[in-house]
Structures are given as structure tokens and as C-alpha cells.
Amino acid sequence: MKIGIGYDVHKLVRNRDLIVGGVKIEHEKGLLGHSDADVLTHAIMDSILGALSLGDIGKQFPDTSPEFKDANSINLLKKVYESMYDKGYIIGNIDAVIVAQRPKMAPYIIDMRKVISDTLNTSIENINIKATTTEELGFEGRKEGISSHSVCLLIKK
């Protein structure tokens, strides 16, 4: 077994789609980043890469590379999955949290779990996603950005 932890944060800005966990969310702002800035998927990728001792998404998918400009993070997660599978591991489980004051994430969590579980070829029961606010404290509370944390357990196949 291997355990990994991931964290990501992106700034909220106008004129960008808000994509979280591979799901487009209607909101007046979206997340700024070199790719689609999917903060949840990025945290999950980092937790898997960490468990595998493969660095992080910045190492695997550098923001200096035009290849990853506006990339769909679910497609990047597929590449991380392939690396994980090639190293002889499958998902045991993932537990993740999205930290955002607005918009409310609860209506989208089932869809996020489905997209992530399908991408990682695992049961939806192995993917847990929670959402919380910061009671208006910090950058998330001021609605300046969204962060996400993820922990994963990988098991030998």
C-alpha cells in the first residue's frame, strides 16, 4: 500500500469556466490557471503522484509547456492513472475536500465522484468528496479562490 496527499489552489476570475472534479459549474467566475484549473482534480492527481514518488503535477505537466495550455484536467488524470497502473497499483480509496465559500458544491458532488471514479477505473464507493466553507475567513472565504485537499490510498493490483 502507498498513501499520498495533494493540495491545490486557484484564483477565481471573470471570463473563465468553473470546472471542479471534471464538472462544469454555473458561476459568474471560473478558476485561473494554465490548464482548465480544476482544483479538485489537481489535488487528486498530486495525491496519486505523491504516493508513487513521481513528484507533482507541476513536474509532470509543467505550466511552461504549451502542450498543457487549457488542458482538460480529466485527460491529465487519465495519464496519471496510466502511470499508476503501469507501476502496479490501483485505487484503494480517495478522500478529498473542496474549500469554497461560493458556489455551493453539494449539488455537484455525485457527478464529480462519477467522473473521477470512471477516469480512475474504480468504484464510485472508493471516491469520497466533501465540500466546506471557511466561514468567510481567508481567501476562500473572501471568494478570491478555491482550494482542495486529497488523500489517496493505492494498493498493489
Dihedral, CA of residue 98, residue 104, residue 106 and residue 111, to nearest 10? -80
The one-letter amino acid at 80: V
Nearest to 39 by CA among 30, 52, 48: 30
101 is in an annotated binding site: yes
103 is in an annotated binding site: yes
106 is in an annotated binding site: yes
142 is in an annotated binding site: yes
149 is in an annotated binding site: no
118 is in an annotated binding site: no
First to last CA, the chain: 10
139 is in an annotated binding site: yes
5 is in an annotated binding site: no
57 is in an annotated binding site: yes
Q: How far apart are CA 43 and CA 39, in angstroms?
A: 6
27 is in an annotated binding site: no
Which amino acids are annotated as binding site, given as ranges? 8-10, 34-35, 42, 56-58, 100-106, 132-135, 139, 142
Which amino acids are annotated as binding site for a divalent metal cation, given as ranges? 8, 10, 42
